[in-house]
């Protein structure tokens, strides 16, 4: 079931939580709404669910599920599955009763027989691998288990649209990883349309078919994770998707200078701010004719496959972060306090003057 949103806006008091938004989500897609807190992503999700109403403005807003206009349809009739951040399980009911809830509240005509409810609930519990805990109460389960129950409960009513509000936010890293993979698998198997909210860029990039990046109630960019990372449309998207190093200075005759550091760049004269990712910084013991960017190592932390190195210098307003492979790390024999030279491999700039910045980059 595809989802079409047309001209959706939302006020809370005097704050504009959402500026008028249009969004199309295709059938069978898994879409992530990504943004910092307060960006309006949860509000948007709740409006899709019908838990919140969009503002009534001069231009009418519209929400379509496939061809069905659900703009004025109550939540309970929208046929959605909603998974809450803090699970929102019914505390006084067993796991079994929680999952069965959506089926037992159906009108008598549409309600399956109790035998059928039983088979369906156990099939769902089997799917989330919790059939042995059917008689437990939510308080007796771990966070990950509770979230799985909450998912099974949402899927019991066979929704066409599954909405998840920061589903893995409150779980530890390992469980989160496991649940992510499992959700992806589930999505592919059952082929419903899913929308989930997250503030974790890694989660959004890993899980989604397409990511909607939001800030201040606006959609900044909608793209596949790959394109989003390679071709961010603006500075906000670039900075939100990972660590960023800033280099600010004055360009004269193709040389950018900043304190005692200089660097040859192909840019017109003027004040410039260049951005680069930690993996785009190379470290060497000697400066080159192209660049002279002296830095001092202030911290070293080996994180998994690479080593993160923090760099400081007089000419830098904020410390830089560089990621180095273990082989390079050993080769250079990096240690704290060591003085080295940085070489940007690749950089970007997002000129402030033009609102629709054409991204320029260069491989050095």
Partner 1 sequence: MQAQGSREEEAAVTLGASGWTTFRRVTLPNIRWALLYGVILTNARAVGEFGAVSVVSGAIRGKTNTLPLHLEQLYQDYNAVGAFACAALLAFIALLTLAAKAGLEWRAARREAFA
Binding site for partner 1 (CB under 8 A): 49, 51, 75-77, 80-82, 84, 86, 88-92, 101-102, 105-106, 139, 153-154, 156-157
Name the residue nearer to partner 1 (CB basis): 49 or 297.
Answer: 49
Give me the phi and psi of 104, to 5 degrees please: -75, -15
- Residue partners of 212: CB distance under 8 A and separation at least 6: 23, 31, 32, 33, 34, 41, 219, 221, 222
Minimum distance from residue 121 beta carbon to partner 1 (Å): 13
Minimum distance from residue 186 beta carbon to partner 1 (Å): 18
User: CA 227, CA 236: separation in Å to the nearest integer?
Assistant: 15
Minimum distance from residue 233 beta carbon to partner 1 (Å): 34
Name the residue nearer to partner 1 (CB basis): 154 or 276.
Answer: 154
Name the residue nearer to partner 1 (CB basis): 56 or 91.
Answer: 91
Show contacts of 328-331: CB within 8 Å, 24+ apart.
328/283, 329/302
Minimum distance from residue 101 beta carbon to partner 1 (Å): 6
Tokens at residue 125, please? 């519990």
Name the residue nearer to partner 1 (CB basis): 105 or 299.
Answer: 105
Among 4, 152, 181, 136, CA closest to 83: 152
- Answer whether 89's CB lies under 8 Å from 138's CB: yes
Minimum distance from residue 37 beta carbon to partner 1 (Å): 18
Minimum distance from residue 75 beta carbon to partner 1 (Å): 5
Name the residue nearer to partner 1 (CB basis): 166 or 223.
Answer: 166
Name the residue nearer to partner 1 (CB basis): 164 or 324.
Answer: 164
Name the residue nearer to partner 1 (CB basis): 110 or 335.
Answer: 110
Minimum distance from residue 85 beta carbon to partner 1 (Å): 9
């Amino acid at each position: 079931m595809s989802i079409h949103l047309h001209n959706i806006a939302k006020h809370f008091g005097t704050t504009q939580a959402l500026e008028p938004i249009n969004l199309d989500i295709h059938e069978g897609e898994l879409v992530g709404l990504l943004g910092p807190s307060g960006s309006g992503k949860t509000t948007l999700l709740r409006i899709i669910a019908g838990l919140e109403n969009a503002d009534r403005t001069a231009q009418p807003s519209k929400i379509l599920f496939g061809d069905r206009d659900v703009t004025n349809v109550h939540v309970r009739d929208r046929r959605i599955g909603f998974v809450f951040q803090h699970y929102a399980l019914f505390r006084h009911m067993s796991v079994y009763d929680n999952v069965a809830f959506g089926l037992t509240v159906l009108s008598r005509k549409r309600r399956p027989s109790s035998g059928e409810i039983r088979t369906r609930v156990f099939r769902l519990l089997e799917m989330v691998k919790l059939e042995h805990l059917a008689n437990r109460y939510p308080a007796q389960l771990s966070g990950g288990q509770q979230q799985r129950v909450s998912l099974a409960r949402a899927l019991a009513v066979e929704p066409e649209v599954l909405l998840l509000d920061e589903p893995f936010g409150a779980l530890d890293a390992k469980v989160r990883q496991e649940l992510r993979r499992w959700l992806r698998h589930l999505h592919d198997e059952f082929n419903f349309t899913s929308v989930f909210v997250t503030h974790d860029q890694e989660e959004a990039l890993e899980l989604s078919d397409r990511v909607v990046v939001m800030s201040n109630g606006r959609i900044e960019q909608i793209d596949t994770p790959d394109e989003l990372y390679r071709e961010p449309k603006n500075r906000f998207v670039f900075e939100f998707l990972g660590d960023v190093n800033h280099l600010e200075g004055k360009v004269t005759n193709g040389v950018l200078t900043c304190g005692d550091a200089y660097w040859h760049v192909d840019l017109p004269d003027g004040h410039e701010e260049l951005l680069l990712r930690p993996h785009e910084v190379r470290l060497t013991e000697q400066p080159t004719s192209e660049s002279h960017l002296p830095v001092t190592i202030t911290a070293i932390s080996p994180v998994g496959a690479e080593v993160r190195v923090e760099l400081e210098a007089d000419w830098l307003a904020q410390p830089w972060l560089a990621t180095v492979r273990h082989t390079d790390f050993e080769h250079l024999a990096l240690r704290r306090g060591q003085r080295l030279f940085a070489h940007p491999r690749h950089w970007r700039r997002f000129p402030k003057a033009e609102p629709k910045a054409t991204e320029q980059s260069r491989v050095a």
